[in-house]
Amino acid sequence: MATTADVLVNEFKSLELEETSKALFNPLLEHTPAIETSPPEETSKPLFNPFLEYTRALETMEPEETSKALNPFFEHVPAPGTLEELLKETIKHANIKRILPNDPIFTQAAKLRDKYGLPQQGFENFRRLLCGIVNFPCILFQNPKNDKLEFDKMVTETFTLDWLQVVLGDTGFKLDDIIIMELFPMLTDTWLENNHDKRLQALHDMFELTLACIHKFKLPVIVACQCFSPKDGGLYDSFWHAKLGDLRSSLNGAKNQTVSQFNYKQHIAHVVHGFHPAYGAYQNTEYRKNMMAILRSTFNSLFGSYAESRREYEATLLLLESRYSEFIRSSIETLHGKAIEFDQIHKQGLALDLFQGHDDSNILDSWNELKSTLDLVLNKLSPTAPRKLLL
């Protein structure tokens, strides 16, 4: 089937040079002079109008094709993928890292806590939830709930965290393994209701903190469990940020298991579309069952794949640990043997008045000190029952 470009080329080839230049370079030029100078048999044939033909071509296209034709940057905009496509990529566990409680990012967070007079327990819970492993998918909610409670109690009394703990547990992960963030950390609905004057600036500062976390730790996959959309007159009224839309999901996106991209300061993350687990809790039984089945399927597929890869990687690390432990053990034992031989040689030489000018006694004293340390290492490297790797 001929494309619009083919039609243009063929039509231009059929025109005389002068007519072609007018049609190509000045499509708005009146065609009357060209018709008057054309051969008699061509005067009844209207000259080719590229804009008219392009319009007619658009009219025959499907909506998707039309959007491509009208958007010159279409090919440069990556289309959202799917969870299935994401899982086909190699899941890499090289250079495993866990966010630590003393990371400088929490100094930045503490300043915001003090700036807005937020509770210390809320800060501690924020830190605990964030201290997961950066190589695994992180989970992004909108804002915290019940964060004034002690951590374990907060988890059990918050539907979302309790549900999450069960679902992650089914795949082999603990809550502490996974980074859990909010668009607006440490800002509960209650605080926003009671601090209307500070609300917009606080929302901005906390969202910037979330962006800083994503960029600093180069999070590879983000499961968006919120469909944030500011509503007139609501707690988030008038708040806007250029990157906010790239981190939100939708119910349709969740149903289709859509994966989009988030690009911030040259770091690109995959965003898996989900929705807030509590969304289905307030619907009728059948609807809730269907919606939660979709969300659970997404979590099982994504975290199940990472859990399987993690188990394989743990097995590799345990094997390497065993091999290196054996190498260190045998090296220490060999060194012990050589030191004993050296001591015997030294004693034999002294009996024959050799080595009188050698300061070997200091070497042996130093060795005895080192031997005590190496003996401790050797005891720790004694064969033990296989143990689970703690990342």
Which tens digits make up the pLDDT trace of 104-162? 999 999 999 999 999 999 999 999 999 999 999 999 999 999 999 999 999 999 999 99
Helix axes 105-115, 199-217, angle to 10 degrees: 170
pLDDT for res 348: 86
What's this model's pTM, rounded to 2 decimal places? 0.70
C-alpha 257/C-alpha 82 separation (Å) is 6
Most confident region among 26-35, 91-100, 268-277, 325-334 by mean pLDDT: 268-277
Residue with token string 């119910």 = 251
Q: Please give the mean pLDDT across all residues of the chain.
A: 78
Which two tokens mark 146? 């019940």
Answer whether residue 182 shows pLDDT above 60: yes
Which two tokens mark 236? 């988030």
C-alpha 104/C-alpha 143 separation (Å) is 22
Kindly report, residue by residue over 261-313, the tens digit of the pLDDT.
999 999 999 999 999 988 766 666 787 788 889 999 999 999 999 998 888 88
What backbone torsions phi and psi does residue 133 show, to the nearest 5 degrees?
A: -95, 125
Amino acid, single-letter form, for residue 38? S
> Residues 313, 298: contact at Cβ < 8 Å?
no
pLDDT band of residue 73 (cuts 50, 70, 90) is: very low
Residues contacting residue 317 through CB under 8 Å, at least 6 positions apart: 389
pLDDT band of residue 23 (cuts 50, 70, 90) is: very low
What are the C-alpha distances in Å from 313 to residues 19, 73, 94, 266?
70, 41, 9, 29
pLDDT band of residue 213 (cuts 50, 70, 90) is: very high
pLDDT for res 233: 64
> Residues 250, 261: contact at Cβ < 8 Å?
no
Residues contacting residue 237 through CB under 8 Å, at least 6 positions apart: 230, 231
C-alpha 101/C-alpha 214 separation (Å) is 16
Residue with token string 């919606």 = 291
Lowest mean pLDDT among 80-84, 222-226, 272-276, 359-363: 359-363
Alpha-helical segments (H) within the chain? 4-13, 17-25, 32-37, 50-59, 63-70, 83-88, 105-115, 120-130, 151-157, 159-171, 189-194, 199-217, 251-255, 277-281, 285-351, 360-380
Range 234-248 average pLDDT: 89
C-alpha 352/C-alpha 372 separation (Å) is 30
Q: What is the DSSP letter of 98?
A: B
What are the C-alpha distances in Å from 113 to residues 29, 187, 293?
67, 10, 37
C-alpha 176/C-alpha 188 separation (Å) is 22
DSSP assignment string, 304-360:
HHHHHHHHHHHHHHHHHHHHHHHHHHHHHHHHHHHHHHHHHHHHHHHHTT-STT--H
User: Is pLDDT larger for residue 24 or for residue 244?
Assistant: 244
C-alpha 131/C-alpha 134 separation (Å) is 9
Q: How far is CA 151 from the centre of its chain?
A: 25
> Residues 229, 248: contact at Cβ < 8 Å?
yes
Which two tokens mark 30? 């009146």
Range 149-178 average pLDDT: 95
CA angle 126/128/131 to nearest 5° reads: 105
C-alpha 56/C-alpha 272 separation (Å) is 39
C-alpha 136/C-alpha 217 separation (Å) is 11
Amino acid, single-letter form, for residue 193? E
